[in-house]
Amino acid sequence: MKQIMVIGGGISGLCAAVDLARLGVVVDLVENSGSLGGHAAQLSCKAADRCVACGACMVEEKIRQATGDANIRVHLNADVDKVDRQKRFEVTLKQDRKMQHIEVDAVLMASGFAPFHPANKPYGYGRFENVMTTLELDRMLRRSGTVKRPSDAAFPRNMAFIQCVGSRDSTLGHLWCSKICCGAALRMARCIQNRQPGMEATFFYIDVQNFGKNFQAYYADTRQQVRMIRSIPADVLKTADDRLNLSYFDPDTQAYQEAVFDMVILSIGLMPSESTRNLAAMLNVDMDGFDYARKETVLLPEGVFAAGTVLEPMSIAESVLSAGKAASDIFRYLETSSQI
């Protein structure tokens, strides 16, 4: 019986585990938090009057499939502590200060991304309560179904969505587009407009990236609902009446303009995570391979595979595909290595 370890219980890890388990492979699914689902399980449904195919709901079904599969053993609150590479991988898992040794034939890195922390950006994050990240807004929508200002629990009359916070940023050395933020922000803006009619949304951007199968039509329609300003704001300041004053260079008037919003949402970028760095060291993988700015595919040692946002920014749909590819590669590896 072939056995593999999937490190990371987010959407990619879940999908790969389910795919492999279906093919008769025994999977140890290792997740360092207390629950499966990763970032995807924190996202809300963004359907307005109909489904916008964001894919967030898929994770619930994948969790159900993974936990119900006899070939998958889930290890929650578990960290990979050590990896010894003999003929197989001897992995030491640390779980509640207990150590456990598991031998596997292959390892899948599906440890995901780290969200960019925007504290050093001039947008008042961490200082002004009503400045939130897209991830926080997603969690709020998921938790309560509506959006209220954290400072006074009032429904916002208008919201600004600032793109590329921590992405496409040469001063940070982040020479990558995080790919999913345009879709996440615009879908959320329209979802909120649908649930809280009258909410005016303004979208500050550099270039709108494609998302979803139906992008052309959705984007054309969105331009009628959301005010699009091709400019990245300079700063955000709090007004005396607890609103947020945002200054930006306005391409229409060729001048710096100010606008006041009830809430400001920062589309924070995706970054390679620290846990990936640790994991890469243990697996003898060159961390440069996980630099999001690169173009080349990651070179991995024999028996080590990677899927999902550990590789580069990806949507949920792309993570599912990435996981399927990895599962297929692993399956082929297990078949060929067993013949030797």
Partner 1 sequence: MKERTLLLGNGPVAWGIAKALLSGNVPVVLVTPDTATSVDTDDPSPLFEVRTETRVSHCTGSAGNFQVILSSPHDTPPLTFANIVIAEDGIQSPLFSLYGLSASPTVLSLSGIRNILASPLASGQALTPGKTAVFIVGLAGESYPHMVETAMESCLKLQKNLGMKTIILTRNLKVGASGLEALYRQTREAGVVYVKFSDTLPTFQQDVEGKVNIAFVDDITRMPFTAEADITVVDDAIAPSPYLKDLSRIFCLDTDSVGYIQPDNVHRLSVFTNRKGILAAGASRGMLSPSAQRAEIRETAVTLFSLTKGTLTTPGNKAEIDAGACVRCLTCFRLCPYHAITLNTRPVVMTDACERCGMCAAECPAKAIRIEDLRIQAISERLRPIPRRDNTDSFTPFLVAFCCSRSAGRAKELATLSGLSFPERLSIVEVPCSGSISAEYLLAAFQHQADGVLVFTCHEGNCHSERGNILAARRTAHLKNMLKQIGIDPNRLLLKTLASNMAAEFAETARKFEKQMAEAGPLGINL
Binding site for partner 1 (CB under 8 A): 19, 22-24, 41, 43-45, 47, 49-53, 55-61, 64, 142-145, 167-168, 170, 175-177, 179, 182, 206-210, 212-217, 219, 228, 230, 251, 254, 293-296, 312-313, 317-318, 320-322, 324-325, 327-329, 331-332, 335
Q: 215 by DSSP, 3-state: which?
A: helix
Write down the least CB distance from residue 95 to partner 1, Å. 21
Q: How far apart are CA 136 and CA 128, in angstroms?
A: 14
If the CB atoms of residues 80 and 135 are measured against partner 1, the closer one turns out to be 135
Write down the least CB distance from residue 67 to partner 1, Å. 11
If the CB atoms of residues 102 and 228 are measured against partner 1, the closer one turns out to be 228
If the CB atoms of residues 65 and 92 are measured against partner 1, the closer one turns out to be 65
Estimate to the nearest angstrom the gap between the alpha carbon of 145 and the chain centroid.
20
Estimate to the nearest angstrom the gap between the alpha carbon of 310 and the chain centroid.
10
Write down the least CB distance from residue 180 to partner 1, Å. 8
Q: How far apart are CA 43 and CA 71, in angstroms?
A: 28
Question: Which tokens belong to 171?
Answer: 């001063």
Write down the least CB distance from residue 329 to partner 1, Å. 6
- Residue 242 makes CB contacts below 8 A (sequence gap 6+) with 130, 151, 152
If the CB atoms of residues 83 and 110 are measured against partner 1, the closer one turns out to be 110
If the CB atoms of residues 10 and 124 are measured against partner 1, the closer one turns out to be 10
Q: How far apart are CA 37 and CA 315, in angstroms?
A: 14
Tell me which DSSP letter residue 293 carries.
T
Torsion 232-39-28-276 (CA) sign? positive
Write down the least CB distance from residue 88 to partner 1, Å. 22
